[in-house]
Structure 1
Amino acid sequence: MVTDDFFEAGNLINPVELPPEHESSIEKWLDAIKHGQVGFLPRKTPQGLYWYAFAPTIREKKELLVLLDAWVGPTFSDLPRSRGRLYPADPFDALLLARQVPPLRFEVLPRGDRQSRDQIRNALLVLSRLVWNRPRSEFDAPRTTVEVLDDLGHAIAAQDRPIALRCLHELEATADLDQTNLAFMRFRVYEGLEDRPAIFADQDLEHVLLLRRPIGITRILQRAVYARYLEKVDLDGSAANLLEAAEAIPPSLRVLATGAINRTRPTVVVEFLLGLLTQATSATLDRLIQEAALLASPLDARLRSLLPPTSSQPEFLPDPEQELPSATTRVHALVNAGEFSAAIEESLAAESDVELAGLMLACARELEEPHLALRVAEHLSVSGLHDTLAQDGALVRSDLAWLDEFVSQQRTLGWLAWLTAVEADQALKITEADLNSTADWDLLDRSTVAQRLAEMSDEALARFGEHGGAFMAAHRALFAQADGADLCERVLAGLAFSEKSSAGVRVQTLTLLEYLAAAAPTVEILTSALEWTGMVVEASVSAVTASWVVDVLQTATSSPQALALDAKHQFFFRALEQLRPVKSALDLADLEGLRLVADELATSLPADFELEESEPDLAAQYRHLENMMVVLYSLTESAITRAAQLLRRLVPGIDVRTTSEHDGSQQLASWSSNADVFVMVAASAKHAATDFIKEHRGSRPLIQVNSRGSSSILRALAEG
């Protein structure tokens, strides 16, 4: 139903028959609703008078329910009982349910009372004016690029695709980044989310392929090509099938050779096969085979078997009496073949001269590879050629200026230097760390990260919590490990001290609690983590984040009951105190989730959080799942375990199964093929397992949930 139809069938109110001031207010509300603002419309039936509250988004709808509690409340309405729900059995409401964001509905009480009617209308007039004219909230206000990039890092660390894409759209709309840098940023995000199909679907892929790209972007594209065209046949072990698969790579993607040293299997396989397809020199192919031998010894033999027969023979037989090519000639040949890293190595091994130094400088700029650039800079400095090159032609001087700036950045930046900047409160260095600038930084090991986080002061931890998104995106594997409990506790402390309440911080908090629960924390670590989490909740709770608080409560208390039970009790009631002012934003599933936590902690839910007997049947929205087999898949066991517990309590006869497999198995294949409903939490799933599930699911429905937490799973099931 569009708002223009609101005063037709099912509504006894005709605006043109109302007093002018009433008709005018309805017209203003209609206009506000059409323009994406909050608005209120009345409906009269033989049974009574109802008001419908429209909001443009689910978030604003939740907030509006809290505001209505304060402005209308139990005195003149049925809001405490109905919680604004529409009635599907009412044809009028059934049409409104089809809207993207259905409105809230409440009845004016006592029925037929003129004072109640006038009080509510006046309250809604004042409330709508206040909402329309209020300053933009923190949820809507424009954010700095630094803030958005930090949230983006947290979203990638948590593998939360919706928040990551929201941050990307925000950058596109507000950040001072050109089209090329935005494209690079998107590719890094897709890589971080392990969403390589999105790279091929990106509108700027063709543009990027024609550019002189950073080597990190080329590596991302190489890994995407490997995943789409080569991975399965490479792991199968057939050389002939590997070459056949490579021939399916489009010509536009065959320009991804780098001339740099390969340190991973996907990149060396891609570069070798692209070299075969583009008739690279035997020197290039031999170099790639040698790199393959260092990575996986059977791989080099398989790649060598793909060489044409003539490639195994020398391209020419040297004349014994003829002089060998000079180093300069060899370097020129390597440069012409695109063998830039080999050209640098050859130049470094030869006797230094100006021509070789210029070639080496050009190769370093072509690769933009930090380790090689540092070696070239050191060589030029030690040999005394740096000052000589500074007097050379414009092109060489430009390359030299680039090298000096690039090396200066590499020497002053890096994750260790960034952590030092956090400790020393060097704002500029701290905020320079984003996905593009940190892409080539070497990752830190667990012991280093643990030591540096443990030694940070409270003030430094606050800065880490405020700006640590990119760090968390790069090092997320450390926090997900079985021994990562202490690391998670330190980052939770940082988020607490920062007092941030952004979407990225919220999803990161939930993710860290999931890692913590799976890492068998000690009583001391869990107690401390719950204290920090309580502070994060206090900074973040609102009408629009109430369901997130419930997810946090369920996840934070998912470890064995006896572990830190006193701390869990304190955290539970502390969180309830924060939820109490906005409890009207909790839906019935949220309240049942709170009851489940209370039961597991052997305590009781406060009376004001209990469901009233007059409340509608909570299970109604899940009734369609009766006698069905429902499978919940996620690597986060706590979320699907809680969701399964709630479903079993609500729906008699439901068969709920949970799985957290990393790869495929006979059982997962059977469940994927036979389940009536299959729910996959995409934010917490392995790429191999998701492909396996989709393959065995075939054309049967698959519900993909893109956010963590049991609330997201239950909402997806309720919506069907």
Structure 2
Amino acid sequence: MTEIEAVSPRTLESTRTLLEAFFAAAVNDAWPDMAEGYEWADRTRPFVDIALQRSDIPLVLPSLKKSMDTFVIYVAVDKREDVVPTAELIKAFAGPSHLVDASMERPVRLDSRVEVERILLESMSPAAVFRLSAGPVPKRRARLTDAMCLMQQVLARRPTRSWHVVKPTGRLLAEFDAALAAGGEASSAVILDQLRDTGGLDASNLAYLTIKRLNRLGKDAEIQALPRLADIIRQEPPTPVREALLESLYFSAVEDHLAAGGLEAAIQSLCDTGTHLDELLNGPLRLRSTGALTIAVLAGVIRDDHNLLKHANDALQNLGRFEELPEAVRTELLSRLGDGSPDTVITPEPQPVISSWSELVAAMSDNSPAVRNVLREAGWQDWPSPAQNDDEIAGLLDGLGDEAAEQAWSAVGAFLEATGYDDPAGRSAEAFILNALTHSRFKPGDLLVIQALLGVALRGAPNADDYEHLLREIGSESDRWVAPERASAVLDIVDSLVLSACPDEVARQQLGYRLLTPLSRHSERLDLADIAFARVLDGELGLGLPWQTELGDEHAESEAWHSANVNVLLYSLDEKVLGRVTEQLRSIAPNARVTSSSDHVGGPRLRQWVQNADLVVLITRCAKHAATGFISGHTSSEKIAYVDGSGSASLLRTTLAELRRRYG
């Protein structure tokens, strides 16, 4: 997103000046000099007319350069508070039906070297600009133009008013944490923008959320490059943020040295870059990641701090991660702890008010401040898994009133983290799903969470009655959220049904039919990658639904995928999803060499795969238990694509879109 803010509202005079420059014959072939006799004037005139009539809606302008065979539609927004609603409008009117890939549903930074983009920057100082493309196929360009023209006509007919709806900050925070835990890379970015726009959080808290998100994506160098980082650290950030900052130091400054066995080089690098170590390691330490604990060990070596070394060693032993330490660090730690130095007396930490998932849910009925503190500090990481008290937690969740149920949703992200892929708390997950359905949580990010919760519920092996009841409840509300622009999330939910054990085949088939039928009716609006996977699901469920496409479009897409002669690495902790998408890619893109990994930690094998890959596609769900930081540290950011979601359809769609964009 561009950092430039609007300095003044658009006026009729300024808009005319912009249009004259934007459509100058030497700049733009969409309507050269806005000449009346131009053959295709009627295709561009509606955008110009609406721009001159309504300054309170986004500015939409097409740009064509015949000599380069490029066609782009720009959507410019004046005010930050209108950025997110505009993104949702673009997704609704164009979305996967007409755009090359989903990344175009987010703002871009304009390039002043491109003449039309320089004109936009200089003429209106936009708060954000979207750059939309349908690719080289003329029919798809025409359909994108029609879709965006329809969007403008609909907006122009609405009365002049403020159309920005502000959500409560608490609900947005819950949605952010939940989307992040469910692997919602794009969804969490949209919610973070909304939080910035509402003004409900100060700069420090916004920085904490930014750090949590970057840590999730493994963007450790970006964390270390954040402005005002020293100020953020001095304000005693919560434990998860401190741990993310320490982990970013590990991957950005010392991991490569330690992998080569260079302990002294790692220590020197940490001395050079870890200028805020004292502040980050001050006070009670509840670190759980190997990277952060490695930094604590190295800091203990640098400071000759026996107490810090013992604390880090105890944490590693309790977590069962001591062997994950680089060999040189393990050797040094054991050597230092064996020197007989006396322990520093540690003041015991006060016992927490809440110490289990059952107590957390029970406290929500009383609106206890302790609930917010547990979630802020990630105190739940020290508790037994929710699976150990699944029935009790589910009963408590089912018994919450409306206000407490709203607060319970703030814990759904932590719940997904705590259950992961290997420790399902099926009945609790079902209770969270019913919470979402009851309170109409059907935004794109919410659907990613529902899919992740459904995976947890089904891995819990429900009996036939519970299985049928859960699927019936999901289907009862499906007409409110199943739509072509949400196809990937819908297909991920159906795929969860297919990949899981099925105690009631009729219930599974009925829900599959209910979810896939609306997509089949509007299949001409679906991305071809989604259609390809929908056909697979349809065949597995035996539904026999029609999936129509434009033959010319499908042929062009197939050619682009077939010609992709590249190395692709897929990463997720869900091995079933990896196997399924790998199989599909070998059929759709046979010249692509596909490798998949679900390694929890980095190592020589994963390093080699990452470095050999031309494209790395990451699912970030449960990334705290994954090797995303390791992966990001061993390849360029340009080679990485992040999936918005955690299912097979989302992974397949992202991979095919990237192949089309990069190599088609």
1:596-626: CA deviation from partner (whole Å, max 9, x where unpaired):
11111223114xx433657652634634535
CA distance 1:189–1:630, shift in 2 (3 Å): closer
- 1:559 is matched with 500
CA distance 1:665–1:448, shift in 2 (3 Å): closer
- 1:399 is matched with none
Q: Does 1:541 align with 2:496?
A: no
Alignment of 1:502-651 (within 5 A): 502-515=443-456, 523=464, 526-535=467-476, 537-542=478-483, 544-559=485-500, 564-579=504-519, 583=523, 585-606=525-546, 609-611=547-549, 616-617=554-555, 619-620=557-558, 622-623=560-561, 625-626=563-564, 630-651=568-589
CA contact (8 A) 2:23 2:30 kept: no
- Structure 2, unmatched stretches of 5+, are 1-18, 77-85, 101-114, 117-128, 323-328
Q: Give the counterpart of 1:204 among 215, 224, 228.
A: 228
CA contact (8 A) 2:375 2:414 kept: no
- 1:712 is matched with 654
Deviates more, 1:627-636 or 1:146-155: 627-636
Secondary structure of 1:572's counterpart equals helix
CA distance 1:488–1:277, shift in 2 (3 Å): same
CA distance 1:223–1:681, shift in 2 (3 Å): closer
Alignment of 1:144-183 (within 5 A): 144-183=168-207
CA contact (8 A) 1:631 1:671 kept: yes
Q: Give the counterpart of 2:433 among 486, 489, 492.
A: 492
Separation in structure 2 between the aligned mates of residue 700 and residue 273 of structure 1, nearest angstrom: 28
1:549 CA displacement: 1.8
Give the residue type in structure 1 aligned to 2:510: Q
Separation in structure 2 between the aligned mates of residue 668 and residue 17 of structure 1, nearest angstrom: 61
1:205 CA displacement: 1.4
Cα RMSD after superposing both structures: 5.4
- 2:120 is matched with none
Q: TM-score, normalised by structure 2?
A: 0.68
CA contact (8 A) 1:682 1:704 kept: no
Give the residue type in structure 2 aligned to 1:420: A
1:453-509: CA deviation from partner (whole Å, max 9, x where unpaired):
331475638767644444233332324224444443332222222221123312212
Q: Does 1:129 align with 2:156?
A: yes
Give the residue type in structure 1 aligned to 2:157: L
Separation in structure 2 between the aligned mates of residue 714 and residue 100 of structure 1, nearest angstrom: 20
Secondary structure of 2:499's counterpart equals coil
1:420-448: CA deviation from partner (whole Å, max 9, x where unpaired):
244x4x5x548973786454465453246
Alignment of 1:369-408 (within 5 A): 370-371=350-351
Give the residue type in structure 2 aligned to 1:549: V
- 1:37 is matched with 58
- 1:419 is matched with 361
Higher RCO (CA < 8 A, seq sep 6+): 2
Secondary structure of 1:141's counterpart equals coil
Give the residue type in structure 1 aligned to 2:188: A
Q: Does 1:4 align with 2:23?
A: yes
CA distance 1:133–1:455, shift in 2 (3 Å): same
1:175 CA displacement: 3.4
Q: Does 1:662 align with 2:600?
A: yes
Separation in structure 2 between the aligned mates of residue 547 and residue 301 of structure 1, nearest angstrom: 48
- Structure 1, unmatched stretches of 5+, are 46-50, 67-81, 87-94, 110-119, 280-284, 315-333, 346-368, 372-409
CA distance 1:544–1:433, shift in 2 (3 Å): farther
Q: Give the counterpart of 1:433 among 366, 372, 378.
A: 372
CA contact (8 A) 2:212 2:241 kept: yes
1:151 CA displacement: 0.6
1:38 CA displacement: 6.6
Separation in structure 2 between the aligned mates of residue 648 and residue 449 of structure 1, nearest angstrom: 42
CA contact (8 A) 2:306 2:336 kept: no
CA contact (8 A) 1:488 1:515 kept: yes
Give the residue type in structure 2 aligned to 1:705: Y
Separation in structure 1 between the aligned mates of residue 212 and residue 61 of structure 2, nearest angstrom: 44
Separation in structure 1 between the aligned mates of residue 30 and residue 600 of structure 2, nearest angstrom: 53
CA distance 1:655–1:52, shift in 2 (3 Å): closer
CA distance 1:448–1:488, shift in 2 (3 Å): same
Secondary structure of 1:704's counterpart equals strand
1:645 CA displacement: 4.5
1:342-380: CA deviation from partner (whole Å, max 9, x where unpaired):
4x56xxxxxxxxxxxxxxxxxxxxxxx543xxxxxxxxx
1:58-93: CA deviation from partner (whole Å, max 9, x where unpaired):
643443359xxxxxxxxxxxxxxx97689xxxxxxx
CA contact (8 A) 1:216 1:440 kept: no
Give the residue type in structure 2 aligned to 1:572: G
Separation in structure 2 between the aligned mates of residue 652 and residue 219 of structure 1, nearest angstrom: 42
Alignment of 1:87-102 (within 5 A): 100-102=131-133
CA contact (8 A) 2:177 2:413 kept: yes
Separation in structure 2 between the aligned mates of residue 215 and residue 684 of structure 1, nearest angstrom: 18
Separation in structure 2 between the aligned mates of residue 600 and residue 290 of structure 1, nearest angstrom: 54
Q: TM-score, normalised by structure 1?
A: 0.63
1:290-317: CA deviation from partner (whole Å, max 9, x where unpaired):
54564568999944855999x96x9xxx
CA contact (8 A) 2:287 2:293 kept: yes
1:156 CA displacement: 2.7
Secondary structure of 1:168's counterpart equals helix
Separation in structure 1 between the aligned mates of residue 293 and residue 613 of structure 2, nearest angstrom: 41
CA distance 1:661–1:532, shift in 2 (3 Å): farther
1:222 CA displacement: 4.4
Alignment of 1:208-607 (within 5 A): 208-211=232-235, 218=242, 221-226=245-250, 228-229=252-253, 244=268, 246-258=270-282, 260=284, 270=295, 274=299, 277=302, 285-288=305-308, 290-291=310-311, 294-295=314-315, 302-303=332-333, 305=335, 342=346, 344=347, 370-371=350-351, 411=353, 416-422=358-364, 424=365, 426=366, 428-429=367-368, 433=372, 437-440=376-379, 443=383, 445-447=385-387, 449-456=389-396, 458=398, 460=400, 466-475=406-415, 476-515=417-456, 523=464, 526-535=467-476, 537-542=478-483, 544-559=485-500, 564-579=504-519, 583=523, 585-606=525-546
Separation in structure 2 between the aligned mates of residue 24 and residue 304 of structure 1, nearest angstrom: 75
Separation in structure 1 between the aligned mates of residue 51 and residue 440 of structure 2, nearest angstrom: 39
Separation in structure 2 between the aligned mates of residue 234 and residue 551 of structure 1, nearest angstrom: 39
CA contact (8 A) 2:568 2:616 kept: yes
Give the residue type in structure 2 aligned to 1:497: T
CA distance 1:643–1:55, shift in 2 (3 Å): farther
Secondary structure of 2:23's counterpart equals helix
Secondary structure of 2:448's counterpart equals helix
Secondary structure of 1:632's counterpart equals strand
CA distance 1:224–1:178, shift in 2 (3 Å): same
CA contact (8 A) 1:229 1:246 kept: yes
Separation in structure 2 between the aligned mates of residue 54 and residue 304 of structure 1, nearest angstrom: 60
Q: Does 1:60 align with 2:78?
A: no
1:544 CA displacement: 3.2
- 1:282 is matched with none
- 1:28 is matched with 49
